[in-house]
Amino acid sequence: MSILVVAEHDNSVMNAVTLNVVTAALALDADVHVLVAGQNCQSVADEASNVSGVTKVLLASQECYSHSLGENMGALIAELGSSYTHILAPATTNGKNYLPRAAALLDVEQISEVVAIESADTFKRPIYAGNAIATVQSTDAIKMMTIRGTAFEAANASGGSASVESIDNNTDSGLSSFVSEEVAKSDRPDLSAAKVVISGGRGMQNGENFSMLEKIADKLGAAVGASRAAVDAGFVPNDMQVGQTGKIVAPDLYIAVGISGAIQHLAGMKDSKVIVAINKDEDAPIFQVADYGLVADLFDAIPELDAAL
Amino acid sequence: MKILVAVKRVIDYNVKVRVKPDHTDVDLANVKMAMNPFCEIAVEEAVRIKEKGGADEIVVVSIGEAKSEEQIRSAMALGADRGILVSSDESLSSLTVAKTLKAIVDKEQPGLVILGKQSIDSDNNQTGQMLAALAGLSQGTFASEVNIEGDKVSMVREIDGGLQTLSLTMPALITADLRLNEPRYAKLPDIMKAKRKPLEKMELADLGIEVNKTVTTIKVEPPAEREGGVIVADVAELVEKLKNEAKVLP
C-alpha cells in the first residue's frame, strides 16, 4: 500500500503545510509519494525529495497546473489515484478545491479536515465548527482526505533522498482559466504556520491601530491575525481572519488583543498551546480559554508590552 | 438562463450544539432548524443575478428529510421561482447528494449552479466540487464576487493569503463564501407568495440514486475542554510568566 500526498506550493517553494501532511501520511504507511503538480516547479520537487520519509516524488510540470485549477488538478489526481490506498492533501483553499473533485471522479467519499489518524481506515475530524469531534470509518478502496496541518507535527524537511519521476499527464479541461491574483506580500510568517500569532479584534477601533500589533509581531517573529468582528468592521482584510470562517491556527503562543472570544473565533484558535488574552472587559468569554488573562485597556497594555519585549 | 441553487436544512447557527450522552451524534431533538447560512448567500446571489437581468429563472432544490420543504419555501420567499424537494429519511453522504444533484442538473440544464461552500453541520466543504466533477461543470469555489459576462462567469475566489480571479466557461458551478453578499430578509408578502410557488416532490429512489454508505460515523465526542488559566496583574507579570512558566518567550 502506498500513500499519495499532494504538495502545496507556488511553483518555486514548497508550502510548509506539506510537511505536516507527510507526517499524517507516515502514520498510515511508510511508502509515501508526493505529487508536485505545477509549472516549472523542479525546485519544489527537489525540496519534496529531501523530506524525511518520502520515498518517491511525482513531478507533473504543465502549464495547466500552474495555478492549481480545480478541474485540472482533480482530473490529474483521479488519473493517478488507483495506484494508492490513501490520497492526502492539505486542508488549504487549494486542497479543499481540487480534492473533492478528484474523489467524485474516483467514486469515493472525501473525509475533510482530518485532525487524527486512529488506524488505516479510522479518522477523527471536527464537525459543527469544532463543537464536536467525529470518529469516522471508511470502507472506500481509496481514502481521500484533507489534513488540518496544525493537528500534525511537521516532518523533517531534510534527511530524505527520494527519486523524482517526471510524469507527462496533461489533464487540461479548458473549462476555466486563471485571470489574476492579489496576494498580500508580507515579511511576516504565514498565519497558519506561525509559531506566534497576535490577533486584534473590534477593540482595536480601526485599521491603523493594528500597527501596534505589527510592531510586537516583528519583535516576536509572529503573524498578525484578526477576529471576524475586526474584518467585518473593515479594519483589516479577510485573509487575516482567524476563526471558523477564516484560518485555523494552532501556534505555540496566541495573543488575543481586544477580542471578546465569540465561539466562531475560538473555533479557529483554541488548539493553540498557550493563549494570552488582553481585554478591558473582565467578563469577556476569551478569558475562559486563556492561560494568561490581563484585564486592561489595550491602548495602555500594548505599548507597555512592546516596551517590555 | 436558468440558475439552480441547492439549499440544506441544518441546525440554526445560533443554537449551541450538544453531543448526545451516548456519543452517537449531536442532539438534534427539538432544536431550531434553518437554512444553512452559506446556502442563504447562494440564494441571494442567484436573486441578485436575476434582478440584474442575468437570469430568467431560479430553481431551488433541497435533498434530505421532508421538512426541508421549509427551507425551499424560505428560498422562494427570497426570490426563487420554483422548487424541487428530493426526500430521504436516511443520513446522506456528500457523494450521494452530489449524485442526486447531478441527476437534477441533467434534467434542468441550468447555465449556473450555486451552492454554499459548506454546511455548518458536517463542515465538509465538498458537495459543490463533487457535483462539478460529476456533471462536467467548471468550478469556482469560495466566491466573493460573481459576474456573468456573456457565456463566461468572471468570479473572485477567497484563497489563502488573498484573492484570485478566474474566468469560467458556462455551465458553471459556484460555491458561495461568506463575503459574497449579505442576504436580505424576506418580506411578509413574499413569504405568503412563496407558499403558492410550484414545488415538485420526489423520493431519492425516484431518481435511481442509491445511498452511499462507505463512510460511517462511529463516535461523536465533545472537544477537549480548555481550562481557564490565571489573571495576571500587569504587563510585567505577563511577560515574566510567558518567559519563565510557559517558556514561550526567550
pLDDT at A211: 96
pLDDT at A247: 87
Q: What is the pLDDT of residues B131-167, one digit of tens each?
A: 999 999 999 999 999 999 999 999 999 998 889 999 9
pLDDT at B34: 97
Tell me if B221 and A135 make a contact (CB, 8 A cut-off). Answer: yes
Is A215 part of the contact surface with chain B (CB cutoff 8 Å)?
no
B249 within 8 A of A253, measured Cβ to Cβ: yes
Question: Chain B residues with CB inside 8 Å of A197's CB?
Answer: none
Question: Chain B residues with CB inside 8 Å of A282's CB?
Answer: 231
A128 within 8 A of B120, measured Cβ to Cβ: yes
Tell me if A183 and B161 make a contact (CB, 8 A cut-off). Answer: yes
CA distance A273 to chain B (A): 9
Closest Cβ–Cβ partner in A101, A183, A220 for B162: A183
Question: Chain B residues with CB inside 8 Å of A276's CB?
Answer: 238, 242
Closest Cβ–Cβ partner in A101, A111, A305 for B129: A101
The dihedrals phi and psi of B134, each to the nearest 5 degrees, come to -65, -35
pLDDT in tens, chain A (309 residues): 899 999 999 999 999 999 999 999 999 999 999 999 999 999 999 999 999 999 999 999 999 999 999 999 999 999 999 999 999 999 999 999 999 999 999 999 999 999 999 999 999 999 998 889 999 999 999 999 999 998 999 999 999 999 999 999 999 999 999 999 998 777 788 888 889 999 999 999 999 999 999 999 999 999 999 999 999 899 998 889 999 878 889 999 999 999 999 888 998 998 899 999 999 999 999 999 999 999 999 999 999 999 999
Tell me if A180 and B123 make a contact (CB, 8 A cut-off). Answer: no
Mutate to test the interface with A, among B41, B119, B125 (most CBs of A within 10 A): B125
Question: Quick check: helix, strand or coil at residue B69?
Answer: helix
Mutate to test the interface with B, among A9, A68, A109 (most CBs of B within 10 A): A109
Tell me if B231 and A181 make a contact (CB, 8 A cut-off). Answer: no
Tell me if B169 and A183 make a contact (CB, 8 A cut-off). Answer: no
| Burial status of residue A266 (CB atoms within 10 A of its CB: 0-12, 13-18, 19 or more) | buried
Chain A residue with minimum CA distance to B170: A175
Q: Which residue in B249, B179, B229 sits closest to A198, CA to CA?
A: B249
Strands (E), A100-191: 110-114, 116-119, 122-127, 132-138, 143-147, 163-166, 176-183
Inter-chain CB pairs, A–B, below 8 Å: 245
Chain A residue with minimum CA distance to B24: A134
pLDDT at B16: 86
Tell me if A107 and B95 make a contact (CB, 8 A cut-off). Answer: yes
Tell me if A94 and B142 make a contact (CB, 8 A cut-off). Answer: no
Residues of chain B with pLDDT under 70: none
Closest Cβ–Cβ partner in A100, A107, A293 for B126: A100
Instruction: Give the Å distances, CA to CA, from A25 to A9, A15, A146, A268.
Output: 18, 16, 11, 24
CA distance B34 to chain A (A): 14
pLDDT at B229: 87
Closest Cβ–Cβ partner in B226, B231, B232 for A289: B226
pLDDT at A246: 82
- Mean pLDDT taken over chain B: 95
Is this complex's ipTM strictly greater than 0.90?
yes
> Residue-wise over A157-189: b if at least 16 C-beta within 10 A, else e?
beebebeeeeeebebebebbeeeeeeeeeeebb
Alpha-carbon distance of A178 to B168, in angstroms, equals: 9
Closest Cβ–Cβ partner in B134, B160, B238 for A92: B160
